[in-house]
Amino acid sequence: MKQITELKKIGKGERYKLFLDEEFVGIYEAEILARHCLKTGQSFDEKFFDALAIENGDYACFNRGLNAIEKSMKTKKMLRDYLREKGYPISCIDRACEKLEEYGYINDENFCESYIHSYKHQKSKRKLKYDLLSKGAKEDIIDCKLDEILDEESEDEKCLRVADKYLRNKEFDLKTKQKFYNHMAGKGFEFGQIAKVWEKITNGRD
């Protein structure tokens, strides 16, 4: 049996330092302590405290994930990476992500749809796909959403529009050309497309 010898509140938050037999064992959420009506002086066997640690970890991991998603949408992979960086065990992350997905807080299809709508006028189709793959979305979902959302504007037309916006009121010198090529390549346009629109806009004046 182990006895709770101290529950020390941390600052103004809702977390406590838990001491068993005068030894610090971890930081616990007030919600978890309240669920079990825990207080100083109570004694339980090790199995109880082992289960309590898992429950506390799951609760903290889930809420950290939920808070992260509320700040900005994330794919399942992005959230897993974020929670790993925060030091949560893989088992807690697995359970938290499963629950968040079940509740609809994680949805890679919705993420892809939102991302494409946000950047479809700024990035090439290739760049959009690359970005979404790097964020952990599945290729079949990405391809489906790209075909569903992108209008009939050709990649050449998009390249020209993005280029025209970037070059507006700029001198057509070598420095601008170098920056322009880097800018357009960063948007995912191919070298041939970039060269073509540069010639069209500058009329070969560089």
HSE, side-chain direction, 13 A CA sphere, residue 114: 11
Q: Are residues 60 and 101 in the same domain?
A: yes
> In this predicted structure, what is the pLDDT of residue 187?
87
83 within domain boundaries: yes
Say if CB 158 and CB 124 are below 8 A apart.
yes
Number of domains present in the structure of the chain: 4
49 within domain boundaries: no
Angle at 21 between CA 15 and CA 25, to 5 degrees: 40
In the chain, the percentage of residues whose pLDDT exceeds 70 is 97
Q: Are residues 163 and 197 in the same domain?
A: yes
With 90 as the cut, is the pLDDT of residue 139 above it? yes
Q: Are residues 134 and 168 in the same domain?
A: no
Q: Dihedral angle at the C-alpha atoms of 15, 19, 25, 27, nearest 10 degrees?
A: 0
Q: Are residues 98 and 126 in the same domain?
A: no
CATH number of 62's domain: 1.10.10
Its domain, for residue 120, covers 108-149
> In this predicted structure, what is the pLDDT of residue 193?
84
Name the pTM for this structure. 0.75
